[in-house]
Structure 1
Amino acid sequence: MDAYYASPSSSFYDNAISRRFYEQKLRYLRFEPYPNDGLVTFGASGTAMCDRQLVLKNAQGVKPEKSDDLPFRGRQRRQGTAIVDYVQLDLVHMRKRLGADAKFTMAVRDNSEWDFEDAAQQRVIFEYPNPETGEFVSFAITAKPDGKFHYAPDGSRVIFEYKTKASGLRAMNGKIDFKGAQDDHIRQVTAEALVFGIDEALIVYESTQKPAWFDDAQSTSVTKGQKTWEDGQPRPDLRACYVKITDEMKAALLSDLARQAALVYEQRAGGDLPEVTAESTGKCGFCAFTDHCRKTLTADNLAKLQRIDSAMATSQMAGKAEHRNVIKYLAEVTASATE
């Protein structure tokens, strides 16, 4: 990708390739519901939901909440979508622009379509034992990756996922240097490996903040924490994380999804909602059922969270992210109760 974007020719698209790309996109501008087979269907990108969110999402009569958001968030979501679109268009030009130097190219399906997104989408049914009961549970996983690559040196296939980051160059690089790809993104490509039978993946991160056009390391008008160059080089705005998906990773994910699917089936049969846990409060930021979750919190669950808050406040967890998430959730429960 660096070789492509460094080339002057990257500023120009081949009309025939572009037309083929957009015609493929147009063919899939339609809505196709999942088969009405009653099975819980996990989207590959949604395999990191908390138990409660998953049950609410799959429970009849519970609709996702829609409310106004901060305007910049809407623009950020739109920006992320647009970036992935143009990156895919660039990727299908790689062979044209780089020739034999293009080691990774977008795979092509038997029908001559590029193997990405809706053209690649597949839904597979699994049966796996619930780790808590030992009983086999049926569920489905659906996946439509940002791409499947053909790797020229050995002819293998590689799953491709592209993620944008608005946290800034330093934050993105620091996080990747510390722990690599995000856990939920690794779960996503693991789910895709189960669907497609491809056990290698590249998760590529792009920072929407770009380095200054010229070296700013010596600029006195830029504070140290905001400098985007170091040692005469721009800080990377693109980072690729390689993931080898193992049988153990697949088994762990299937086991967890079987447990969650069982919770959904139990709730459909009249069971209770799963409890809110301290860990699950870290996933509330992108949940579409927050109001319903807070308003259906039981008194026992509330008391348990309050005890956890008190214990964290007097431990080494005080003030850390996990503790702040619990505090925030409890404050929102209180605010919801007074509305």
Structure 2
Amino acid sequence: MSTILVTGAAGFIGMHLSVRLLEEGHEVVGFDNVNDYYDVQLKRDRLNMLRPYENFSFIEAGLEDQEAVETVFKNNDIDIIINLAAQAGVRYSIENPRAYIDSNVVGFINILEAARHNDVKHVIYASSSSVYGANVKMPFSTDDAVDHPVSLYAATKKSNELMAHTYSHLYNIPTTGLRFFTVYGPMGRPDMAYFSFTNKILAGDTIKIFNNGDMMRDFTYIDDIVDGIIRLLDKSPVSNPAYDREHPTPKESYAPYKVYNIGNNTPIQLLDFVKTLEKHLGVEADKEFLPMQPGDVKATFADIEDLNKVTGFNPSTSIDTGLGKFVKWYKEYYRI
């Protein structure tokens, strides 16, 4: 069993992943600043699900706090870092760009420096499907260049991949980046469309459908995401002297560095998604159709062949099943 630092442990993915790690017997050190970007009580309730485990400890601080990060490593013998903490949200990055630099860039260099000085065996970190930006070729492939971000959030995630490669090259630190595709499920993020749609539909409010509904998302259920991360724990990248530098591919390197897509590989039309949500809620939504918003992309669609080859990752939760579980949790949590 390993001692694993999970940053963003009070977050949606971080909490579900931590539960799985704890159930498997790992020691989990949680780290989160529990900020008010969305409902703090929901974050506290997630943490309350972790606190009963004897093999869980928690530090409340931000990644940009270098001293707090260093203290974690002074007090714990960390084997693996899973860095999920970040300032999230595409549209919010237009309103408050500096928050993204502090958390996603300054915070990530603190993580990489900690890995460098503490003999960490594997750094797994959250990138995002948003790095594909202006790309239109589908499905999105890690073989493709991602040089045209359309939001600062995406730019910070691309910078994480570049920073990780630099540390893999300079210090031989195995790093694995995961480009997440629209994760959903119980105890999810209230700022995500499926959650805010549910709030509004049940309240009788109008939901806003951007790009007139002509959008597709590779919705991925949380249990499938957690399964993919768990499968990568012991799949640390290794140096590859045979890497063809004359014909480089962005997804790997001569250094111990890899980037994977982690998604459902089955994009869903936004209107079909809303219809499924309406079915489980038993309420028809009042819809307002609007143009595309700045920073948004029309479609996301993950090519997950590489992750499947390495780990056997094969998401199996249908949108009908996943939304059914989300709605059940939502009604219980909010006592509806």
TM over 0.5: no
Rg larger in 1 or in 2? Answer: 1
TM-score normalised by structure 1 residue count:
0.24
The structure that is helix-richer by fraction is: 1
TM-score normalised by structure 2 residue count:
0.24
